[in-house]
Chain A
Amino acid sequence: MRLKSLVSYFRENKKRLILSLLGVAIGVFSLSLMVGITEAMEKRVERVIGKMGSRVLVILPGEVKNLGGRTIQLSFYPTLTVKDARAIEQKCPDVKAVSPFKKVSPNVHHGGKRITAEVFGVWPSYPEITDYKPLCGRFLRREEEDEMAERAVLGYEVAKKLYGSECPVGKVIYLYNAPYRIVGVMEKRGTDLSGENLDNRIYIPLSSAVRRISNVDYVDGIYVLPVEGAKVEEVKKELTELLLKRHGKKDFSVNRFEDLVNTQKQAMEIFSRLSLIVSLIAFGVGALGILGVMTLSVYERLVEIGVKRTFGATKREIALQFLAEAALLSLVGGSGGALLSTVMVVAISSLAGWGVFIPVKGALISLGLATVVGIIAGVYPALRASSFEPKEILNET
């Protein structure tokens, strides 16, 4: 019953209501969006690192720098070769598996139609390093690498697009009109943090990619998996020394896969921090909005206050009414914002392929904060409302 006057009052002052709700709605929206995205991203990072293993090292040509949270290749050197990978395999006792990789972009045809997919040349050890399993068929073999065989393993999505749920082992796709026989399909991987779809790939023997398709002798990078028990930092040193000796200068960098992922995470964290500031400002504006509208409403609701006091309301009851109303306004605005941000987070995380994620934590934190903001903003109007004596309001002379 006591809320009826609030509802009825704002039914007649809708614009004011919307204005007062907007600030808090935006505050809650940006805060829970931020918490939600950060959380979704952290989950994704955990999954990516978890799959690759936090021990995997990546050797990249040129110099890599972490600028503002982004990994930037400062200079490019076509100096990292398959021979380097072989040398690592033979000379580093602490290395369990090595796989160079080279991304090539041939025209890919299937059944007379051109399809878009990334083509990756890798060694047979690639699944071991990246903890990647075939869904059907098998991965590439050593002899296929040695023979520059025209064999291909499809990523999950490529296979699904072309063959549905059927296992396409034995079928053929064409890279630059050369037929590649399909020997397997890999399990589903999702996207990496930069949004690249890891399932829209075709894996072929590295030798085929380097010699047959691009006809160069350098690779894009080399994945290295240290043996169990070996210290990752020591392996890193070992690799650096070996490559320095081979190249004569430091035209490469050795990174932990985890660090590369984390730099992306750091970029997102900077974004998060900015949106935290934005949401705090929005909360401040929202609080001022509620403070203003509620204070204004006190003066427009003097009759209500006077009548209620006359009919037995204590100052405390009046103050509590206005306080509760301010909190309610804030909560209503906040719920709107939380709803919207939940929809956004679900949409963003599924579009980005981070998997469906419902940001319960963000929404709850923001709603709690909205209530607190409402109560704080309600203190002044509540005190003002309860400061009137009924005879002052109802004095008729």
Chain B
Amino acid sequence: MALIELKGIKKVFRQGELQVEVLKGIDLTIERGEFVAVMGPSGSGKSTLMYIMGCLDRPTEGKYYLNGIDVFSLKDDELSKLRAKFIGFVFQSFYLIPYLNVLDNVLVPVDYLPKEEKKKRFKEKSPEEKAKELLKRLGMGERLKFKPAELSGGQKQRVAIARALINSPEVILADEPTGQLDSASGKAVMETFKELHSEGKTVIVVTHDPAVASYADRVIKIKDGKVEE
């Protein structure tokens, strides 16, 4: 069973009279353990595709199976819990909560994991221990009490990656993760993704940057709402 299976995904945005078809029937399968880059110029619909894969948006048409679950037959609340269980998000603008320190930012997703999953996933280590371990591994072990404003862009993104990993999700979904970073920090972030992939995580990176895409094993090109692999 494939981890991600998209079938005939279409997305139409209505703007008054005007109807814009952003995704025009996407078929895509991603297996467990793959490192995939979704590439395309801006306006190609890759962000919309990312939102759909991340269960943050519903397609106008088509089917999406995540780990065999028919995602869009689910209610909103169930969709939320699916995100909590399966997906770790990394964004271009980091989206760290400015008034929480580094450690607390990383711990945010833990609260929203369903109880029985929480018990299972934090059986060996408490969330705090795991967060500290992740941050240490990402070179942020010394800055647990720092506020996001006190960190550089690269450091912020590393905190965001730790946050994405805290619940041990199946998939890391990163949207232009290097978009706001200098090339050195960007490289470090991509190396981290590569390392996670080598440990068996499924990593999907959405980008317009060929250099970023080059880290991936497989590049899926989106153009005009269609896949050009």
A396 x B85 contact (CB < 8 A):
no
Within 8 A of A (CB), among B59-90: 76-77, 80-85, 89
Interface status of A14 (Cβ within 8 A of chain B): no
Q: A314-B80, A394-B91, A396-B176 are in contact. Are A303 and B85 (CB under 8 A)?
A: no
Contact of B89 among A1, A9, A310 (CB under 8 A): A310
Within 8 A of B (CB), among A116-136: none
Q: A394-B91, A396-B47 are in contact. Are A317 and B99 (CB under 8 A)?
A: no
Measured CB to CB, the nearest residue on chain A to B50 is: A391
For A2, the chain B residues whose CB sits under 8 A away are: 111
CA distance A303 to B163 in the complex (A): 14
Contact of A308 among B99, B112, B176 (CB under 8 A): B112
B112 x A303 contact (CB < 8 A):
no
A310 x B83 contact (CB < 8 A):
yes
B91 x A312 contact (CB < 8 A):
no
CA distance A311 to B168 in the complex (A): 12
Interface status of B98 (Cβ within 8 A of chain A): yes
Within 8 A of A (CB), among B13-69: 42, 47, 51, 54, 56-57
Interface status of A138 (Cβ within 8 A of chain B): no
Interface status of A165 (Cβ within 8 A of chain B): no
Contact of B99 among A1, A11, A306, A314 (CB under 8 A): A11
A303 x B57 contact (CB < 8 A):
no
For B89, the chain A residues whose CB sits under 8 A away are: 310-311
Q: A8-B104, A390-B56 are in contact. Are A311 and B109 (CB under 8 A)?
A: yes
Interface status of A304 (Cβ within 8 A of chain B): yes
Measured CB to CB, the nearest residue on chain A to B117 is: A312
CA distance A2 to B82 in the complex (A): 20
Interface status of A309 (Cβ within 8 A of chain B): yes
Interface status of A66 (Cβ within 8 A of chain B): no
A309 x B95 contact (CB < 8 A):
no
B108 x A307 contact (CB < 8 A):
yes
How close is B27's CB to chain A, nearest CB, in angstroms?
23
Q: A1-B107, A307-B108, A391-B57 are in contact. Are A312 and B95 (CB under 8 A)?
A: no
CA distance A5 to B108 in the complex (A): 9
Measured CB to CB, the nearest residue on chain B to A9 is: B99
Interface status of A228 (Cβ within 8 A of chain B): no
For B91, the chain A residues whose CB sits under 8 A away are: 394, 396
Query: Can you name 10 A-B pairs with beta carbons within 8 Å?
Result: A4-B104, A8-B104, A303-B98, A307-B95, A308-B111, A313-B84, A315-B77, A389-B56, A391-B57, A396-B93
Task: Please give me the 6 A-B residue pairs with the lowest Cβ-Cβ distance, nearest first.
Answer: A312-B84, A311-B109, A312-B112, A8-B99, A314-B77, A314-B80
